[in-house]
Chain A
Amino acid sequence: MIGLSSAGSAGSISVQTTSGRGATPEEVASRCVKKVISIADTADPAIRDQAQAFSNQVEAVIAHYMKEAIKSDRTTLYNILINSGQTELAEHIRRI
């Protein structure tokens, strides 16, 4: 008899929630960098430390540029609101 067997499995999903606010750029950057860089627990300590330092640096860069994107988007929103006569709301957006 010839047969082949294989095992399928479902990994674990985690959840991150916020209340009364959205996620901060730092929180999103932390999730993002975990998608980009994976460091094995079994890696050589010297390499692991170097990889962790690189990961931290990438996370900071991602967070910075996310903040830049948010600011730029607010500028776009500000102009949309100004152009539609919502000057008070536009000012609120600008001051965030």
Chain B
Amino acid sequence: MAFTGNYMPTSFKSEILQAKHNFTNGAHTFNLALYTNSSSFDASTTDYTVTNEVSGTGYTAGGAALTNVTPTTGGVVGFTDFADLTFSSATITARGALIYNTTYGGGTGTTEAVGVYDFGSDKTSSAGDFTIIFPTASSTDAVIRIA
């Protein structure tokens, strides 16, 4: 099994129609978790899992919380963004990431998947910074877009 690209989970598409996710800054809390290439995430992924999650110095199971950038629009596209995220003093190797909502529907400790992201190759930090760089917040590049 392996990462095979970036996916917006099908379950997420349904959940946004049910107003279960709120990306407004300061609203819901979204985490980013890192995974090895043994993972098999795709559009059918529904939730965060500890299976094949990376482990190592500077990384805690569940990943880390992201800072939301309030959604906006460009042309006919709606999109949202997050601030870059750094795992400091980390010794880890990851092939991809899963963003999930820890306050889905206003709850706590929830795990509903929001996006699957493939780094394209294994990325490694050794006693250094492992920084997730989000794309430009635009209608063509933003990390989550609805056209």
Contact = CB atoms under 8 A, between A and B. Distances in A.
Interface of A: 6-23, 31, 34-35, 38
Nearest to A15: B123
Contacts of B12: 8
B8 A10 contact: yes
A38 B136 contact: yes
Interface in B120-147: 123-138, 141-147
21 contacts: A6-B147, A9-B6, A10-B143, A10-B144, A12-B6, A12-B135, A13-B119, A13-B134, A14-B119, A15-B119, A16-B129, A16-B133, A17-B124, A17-B128, A17-B131, A20-B126, A22-B129, A23-B86, A23-B129, A31-B131, A35-B84
Interface string B100-135: 000000000000000111010001111111111111
Contacts of B116: 10
Of the four ranges (under 10, 10 to 19, 20 to 34, 35 or more), the interface on chain B belongs to 35 or more
Nearest to B9: A10
A9 B123 contact: no
Contacts of A21: 128
A96 to B, nearest CB: 16
Given A16-B133, A31-B133, A11 B128 contact: no
Contacts of A9: 6, 8, 145-147
Contact of B84 (A7, A8, A31, A38): A31
A24 to B, nearest CB: 10
A55 to B, nearest CB: 13
Contacts of B133: 13-16, 31
A13 B128 contact: no
* Chain A to chain B: the 4 pairs with minimum beta-carbon distance, closest first: A18-B128, A19-B126, A17-B125, A15-B123
B88 interface: yes
Given A15-B131, A16-B131, A7 B146 contact: yes
A20 B131 contact: no
Contacts of A22: 88, 128-129
A26 to B, nearest CB: 14
Given A15-B131, A31-B133, A34-B136, A8 B146 contact: yes
